[in-house]
Structure 1
């Protein structure tokens, strides 16, 4: 191993330091980056500059994981996969972290009055190929989309936000009558409808909304079921995919309309085995 290679012990120490700062930042607590750097120096004997650079590498790998990142540590994408493995180890040791990270936003969620809904990612705003390839490699290797899908607390919180957003928008447009009829279908009836929220346009047309939520950036991959795709195809004029991202900080969103393969690449990730 050369002096430029970092051991698992060194990577684990830097990742633990990074998540300590991230926890404080997301919780609104103050922290001292210099003090954290000195602590890691004492632990692993690396220089201040090397640790500062490595924290930027952690930001890049964390972005690939679909996680929020520490402000001020701009992602540097020349990291080894061993650093991503250190993040995976940290997450495995702290399984409840991702269900707790956005709790500060939940207290006033029912009274939320606005949600920024912007433009979906396009080829024009694609990151440099080498950066995108690195993040996609991390997302594939560690099943980032599956992790978000299994995080039921995150999914429920995202659906709740969209439910109240839809009602608020209808009230704002003078359709309080329709706002009262908006339904949180997945909560009231359970999964299986192919959408989570039953809403309306101001003109009274039905809006069938499937919500996908992540703490990561807007290009974080997501899972979509065969049933959801079938409903999207059958109800093309009414079905909407509502993508929430950066949920742990200040949630933002965009919408996708069928056909979905005009916007994203759909990749089969599992197969059903039936006996002949």
Structure 2
């Protein structure tokens, strides 16, 4: 069989991919070869075509700010019909996004209490930007499906990321013999609400204030995120204290980078809404 894939074929391989992805994230053994043979029988496509389509699905998930199966390296220039099939699966399985049915996200509480410090590296720069075709497709998918808004609305993911940063901050302070400061680290957004313009109140080793806004995604380091007008205002008024910690790849192996004001030196800030007042 040749030509474009049908919706039924796309839906079948996407469902099979997520079955493997769930096993992969949970550390359960599974056989890619067996999955491939089963799909060959089910959808009438050859082994190589199925393998490459798995790589296409990884690319779609990358654009959607989701994790993917490491053994299927993202392959781009995929068809829009596949993009739609992945979106259909996610819509019909909302608990995957929220983490309720996701093996790697379910034991969040126990993991946060026993974690090591976060791996914090440099933020993405122009020097390590992906090839233009890849970046264009990733950006288009992220904008089309409002990936930044989805992550912002995912309260479970956001809270888990904030907890992870709190644990990290306390560990860093305690390792520097500043248990006095570690005890004073506060989860501001949980205790006082979201109006402060930052989520965590921590400290530098020398006692200076450290105000942290946390942005979390299961996707790659270039997954877009929302920044509120209030967060920007606080970042500007308290430049020496405020920072943004971006956690990515949260479902698998959380990594992070930190950026400090002015944010415009690190990210492109695009207005997404306007207040309309009657004339």
In the superposition, the TM-score normalised over structure 1's length comes to: 0.97
1:56-71 equivalences under 5 Å are: 56-71=55-70
1:202 aligns with 2:205: yes
How far the C-alpha of 1:105 sits from its partner, in A, is 4.7
Deviation digits for residues 17-56 of structure 1 (CA, Å, limit 9, x no counterpart): 1111000111111111111112222221111111111000
Deviation digits for residues 197-239 of structure 1 (CA, Å, limit 9, x no counterpart): 0001011110110000000010000011111111111111110
How far the C-alpha of 1:113 sits from its partner, in A, is 2.5
Q: How many Å separate the matches in 1 of 2:224 and 2:35? A: 32
**Does 172-181 or 239-248 show the bigger shift?**
172-181
The equivalent of 1:227 in structure 2 is: 230
Deviation digits for residues 172-213 of structure 1 (CA, Å, limit 9, x no counterpart): 111111111110000111111000000010111101100000
Secondary structure at the aligned position of 2:244 is classed as strand
The equivalent of 1:107 in structure 2 is: 110
1:247 aligns with 2:250: yes
Q: Which of 261, 264, 268 is the aligned partner of 2:264?
A: 261
How far the C-alpha of 1:3 sits from its partner, in A, is 3.3
The equivalent of 1:191 in structure 2 is: 194
Q: How many Å separate the matches in 1 of 2:277 and 2:187? A: 33
How far the C-alpha of 1:108 sits from its partner, in A, is 2.3
1:119 aligns with 2:161: no
Q: How many Å separate the matches in 2 of 1:230 and 1:152? A: 23
How far the C-alpha of 1:12 sits from its partner, in A, is 1.0
Q: Give ranges in structure 1 of 5+ residues lacking alignment.
A: none
The answer to whether the Cα contact below 8 Å between 1:105 and 1:248 also exists between their aligned partners in 2 is no
The equivalent of 2:11 in structure 1 is: 12
What's the C-alpha RMSD, in Å, of the aligned pairs?
1.2
Q: How many Å separate the matches in 2 of 1:80 and 1:51? A: 14
Q: How many Å separate the matches in 1 of 2:154 and 2:124? A: 24
The equivalent of 1:95 in structure 2 is: 94
How far the C-alpha of 1:106 sits from its partner, in A, is 3.8
**Does 195-204 or 2-11 show the bigger shift?**
2-11
Q: Which of 118, 124, 129 is the aligned partner of 2:132?
A: 129
The equivalent of 2:49 in structure 1 is: 50
* Structure 1 runs of 4+ with >6 Å offset: none
Secondary structure at the aligned position of 1:178 is classed as helix
Q: How many Å separate the matches in 2 of 1:106 and 1:136? A: 32
Q: Give ranges in structure 2 of 5+ residues lacking alignment.
A: none
1:274 aligns with 2:273: no
Q: How many Å separate the matches in 2 of 1:26 and 1:70? A: 8
The equivalent of 2:169 in structure 1 is: 166
**Does 40-49 or 116-125 show the bigger shift?**
40-49
Q: How many Å separate the matches in 1 of 2:131 and 2:84? A: 23
